[in-house]
Amino acid sequence: MAKKRYVNTTFWRDDYICNLDPSEKLLFLYLLTNPDTNISGIYQIPLKTIAVDTGFDKEMVIKIIDRFEKDNKIKYENGWIAIKNFQKHQNEKSKFVIKGIENEEKNAPETLQKWVKSKVLEGIDTLSTINLDPDLNLDPDLNLNAERFKMRQQENFETFWNLYDKKVERSSCEKKWRKVNPDTYPLIFDHVERYVKSTPDKQFRKNPKTYLNNQCWNDEIIVTGNVPGKTSFQDNLKRFEEMEKTL
């Protein structure tokens, strides 16, 4: 599941970042935003992966991380990265965020946990909120709170439910829908509309739970003959965006 990470634009004007060379800036930004990061700011990542993703050789990665460690910004220990100010910039008033941090820290080295929670440094206000993990029901729009996100999520489920029009196992479908990445909603709506038109007889249509479990919106739709009234993906995306504006 893809995550979203919001980086404050002041990153580039931070006193510490301004004094880094281009390679160091890139690596610092990478350590904040790479796919292995989590909401606690403590995560496992091999040096080889860092080297491959950034294009630096392993020795260069070690050299730059060593500088970050001396400056007390980043700590690397046995394949684990810890970022000093990371948790400071999460929405720590949210019970969902607190729970997420605690869950991620369970497997992290205790020494890194203590280091992260020791005196927080000034500067490097690189992150606004939040780590987007759909299992935590966090809000992908920073202007909306968690309850508003749940409301939007439910409204989108109703759209899916009515479009699919094979109303079985609703409760299970709702639970599964809450784990769907919101970024895929336009794709799902577009695919469902075409899939329903290709299976006008409901008995030949997959149950909606099966559709969600197997992520069938990625499947090809085989249609024999012309299907009248086909709506383009762009039309569905525009409709989805208009619906989002009303929330």
- Cis ω for the linkage preceding 74 (within 30 of 0): no
Residues 6+ apart with CB under 8 A from 25: 17
Residue 3 counted as domain residue: no
Mean pLDDT of all residues belonging to the chain = 79
Residue 51 counted as domain residue: yes
Per-residue pLDDT tens digits for 182-209: 878 888 998 999 999 999 999 999 999 9
The answer, yes or no, to whether residue 106 has pLDDT greater than 70, is yes
In terms of domains, do 175 and 233 share one?
Answer: yes
Average pLDDT (218-222) is: 87
Residue 228's domain spans which residues? 146-245
pLDDT of residue 66: 94
Residue 168 counted as domain residue: yes
pLDDT of residue 240: 62
pLDDT of residue 153: 85
The answer, yes or no, to whether residue 141 has pLDDT greater than 50, is no
The CATH number of whichever domain residue 68 belongs to comes to 1.10.10.10
In terms of domains, do 85 and 182 share one?
Answer: no
Whole-angstrom distance, CA of residue 204 vs CA of residue 151: 32
Q: How many domains does the chain have?
A: 2
Q: What is the DSSP letter of 46?
A: -
In terms of domains, do 117 and 183 share one?
Answer: no
The answer, yes or no, to whether residue 20 has pLDDT greater than 80, is yes
In terms of domains, do 64 and 119 share one?
Answer: yes
In terms of domains, do 96 and 126 share one?
Answer: yes
Residue 138 counted as domain residue: no
pLDDT of residue 3: 65
pLDDT of residue 165: 93
> For residues 30 and 54, is the Cβ–Cβ distance under 8 A?
yes
- Cis ω for the linkage preceding 130 (within 30 of 0): yes
pTM of the model: 0.49
Closest to 108 in 3D by CA, of 82, 89, 86: 82
The answer, yes or no, to whether residue 25 has pLDDT greater than 60, is yes
